[in-house]
Amino acid sequence: MALVSGNGRPTRILLSGVFGPFGVDDEFGRKENIMELFHNQVTRGQGVASFRFFHRSFGLYFLAQNLDADVTVLDFPSRERFAQEVARGYDVVGISFIAPNFVKAREMARTARLLAPGATIVLGGHGAAVEGVEELIDCDHVIRGEGIKPMRRLLGQDPDAPIVHPVLPSSERSAIFGLTVPGTPANLLVPGVGCVNGCSFCSTSHFFGKAYTPYLSTGRELFDTAQRIANETGSDEFFVLDENFLKDKQRAMELIDEMERHDRHFAFNIFSSTEAIRAFGLHNLERLNVTFLWIGVESSSDLGNFEKNVGLDARGLISKLQDRGIMVLASSILCAEHHTQENIQAEIDFMIGLEADMVQFMLLTPLPVTRLYRDHKRRGILRTDLPLEEWHGQKMLSFRHPAFPGDSAQRWIDSAFRQEYEANSSSLLRVIRTTYKGYQRLARRWELTPGQAARKRMLEASLRAWSPVLPTIALLAVNSLERERATDLLRRIRRSIPQSLGDRIKAPAALAIALAYRARVRLFGDTIQPRTILSRYPAGRPQARPTPIPLEEVAGDPQQVRQRLAAAAMWATEPPLPN
């Protein structure tokens, strides 16, 4: 049955991410589950040198852009802010969450039912894969996998209508050493969702049915969308949120052709599996102007690896990518089933030896919907006693592993981050070094294609932006090795790219800011909460940008609003449901 509002007005929909605060131990969450991807599971062992930024709940904005309804998106709210918004009256309340935020989603559904009893409650996001979620959380609908078509069906709209890509920044409040990352943030680009590889642990692949659903099917569509977004934002850089972008080689090659034909060379940060990278070729990666690659290395051993990595020389591939100025994030799985207390250090040593720009360490986690989860459940080794708040892969194992009892998994993952940082230095130093390698490779050539010339200018601009931070890295280095590396790299960059007056001014300013930030962290800790973001998408204008609305605005019948807000005040005294 289609969801429609009464009185002939457009359906009013609230789409919300889970409430904060994030990264704290309370009745709703855990301090390890912070709302920062890199600081959570990539650079979290690097102290003030860790990359700090937030990602929006991107799926909610795609839904809002592609539903013909009055849609409000509420991102990073507090409990109180969510209750206040629900109390304004909506026909539909959608809640997006992941498994570790299950208790938050349950509390939000309870709040919505209390303050908006007539609203339809819809659950989505990866948390929708939790077994029996329909019975565990008071809701009316659960959407698993790609969400635009099911939501259109619920609203009685054409599920196959064209999909409009929203204009969104890929990150919010990007900073490192307390310094705001210079320039306009990279744009978000989502060519499609899902992955056909179906690795046993991968919740993304299994959540979308081990299939790929394209939003942008051709290179021409990719180019036109990227050009529209770049013209609006002023940034030609994109973070491509696609699990295995190079898997569709033809589409990527068509995109290269469009970029070269129009002499418009965007820069792309992408995810891709190693077998797709090898099939695509290093030369084509340069032509595509890829600057960052996230690669699932996963394991050093055939015992723990996957078909996508058969025959992989990970160290050789990463080195070749870095020589071309392509930063590499290599991901690894710790406490896999073949790991023991005796062999896990060799796994960590292997990842350190890759000398990637960044390394993600995650504990093996059989998340609901995956083949690994089904296997562990069949074998009776799932930790059903462990609350879902702990299923984030950074502290406890969610299955019984005979080799890692108690808190040993946490000790190993903490040690892995620390060892990798001490051996390879801060990721920012490595990123600058890789950028310099790519710049030098092109600077030594007598002739450059238009695409190569554009890439060289981009790499030089990055070096000018980031090299003033090298004295800060040297002073705040984790050890003498990093100090020597930073000093040597700065010397080489200055020989290649003459310093401007602005560059000379930036270095001491960056150091002063970094020292102040370090003092703040020592006094108050390093927890950073994202700002609440509210956007409204009016009905009848599917290609319109969201209209920012002041958070204090209250719309609707004054008497009804007063009643709802009074209920919101009472809500604060209602006890949460037990775990």
pLDDT at res. 33: 86
Burial of 315 (0-12, 13-18, 19+ CB in 10 A): middle
| Residue-range definition of the domain harbouring residue 464 | 434-524
Query: pLDDT value at position 1?
Result: 39
Q: d(Cα 239, Cα 267) in Å, to the nearest integer?
A: 9
Q: Which amino acid is at 379?
A: R
Whether 187 and 317 share a structural domain: yes
Q: Please count the structural domains in the chain.
A: 3
- Quote the distance between the C-alpha of residue 453 and its chain's center: 30
| Same domain assignment for residues 344 and 363 | yes
Asked whether the CA dihedral 484, 486, 487, 492 is positive or negative, the reply is positive
pLDDT at 303: 67
Residue 537 maps to a domain? yes
Are residues 325 and 441 in contact, defined by beta-carbon separation less than 8 angstroms?
yes
Clarify whether residues 155 and 21 are in a common domain.
Answer: yes
Indicate the pTM of the whole model.
Answer: 0.90
Q: Which residues of the chain have pLDDT under 70?
A: 1-8, 302-307, 309, 541-579
**For position 186, what pLDDT does the model report?**
95
Same domain, 438 and 401: no
Domain membership of residue 429 (yes or no) is no
Dump the DSSP string for 126-148. Answer: GGGGSTTHHHHS--SEE--S--H
pLDDT of residue 579: 35
Per-residue pLDDT at 208: 87
* Per-residue confidence (pLDDT) for residue 308, from 0 to 100: 73
**Residue 129, pLDDT score:** 92
Identify the pLDDT of residue 436.
98
The structure tokens listed for 540 are: 């009848």
- Residues 107 and 157 reside in one and the same domain: yes
Residue 336: φ, ψ to 5°: -70, 170
Tokens of 448: 């450059």
What pLDDT score does 312 carry? Answer: 77
| CATH number reported for the structural domain that contains residue 353 in this entry | 3.80.30.20
Give the β-pairing of 547-548 and 533-537.
Answer: antiparallel
At 344 the pLDDT is: 95
What is the predicted pLDDT for the residue at 341?
Answer: 95
| Burial of residue 541, with CB atoms counted within 10 A of its CB: 0-12 exposed, 13-18 middle, 19 or more buried | exposed
The verdict on residue 425 lying in a domain is: no
The set of residues, in sequence order, having a beta carbon less than 8 Å from that of 194 and lying 6+ positions away, is: 145, 146, 204, 205, 207, 208, 209, 210, 211, 212, 213, 243
Shared domain for 148 and 198, answered yes or no, is: no
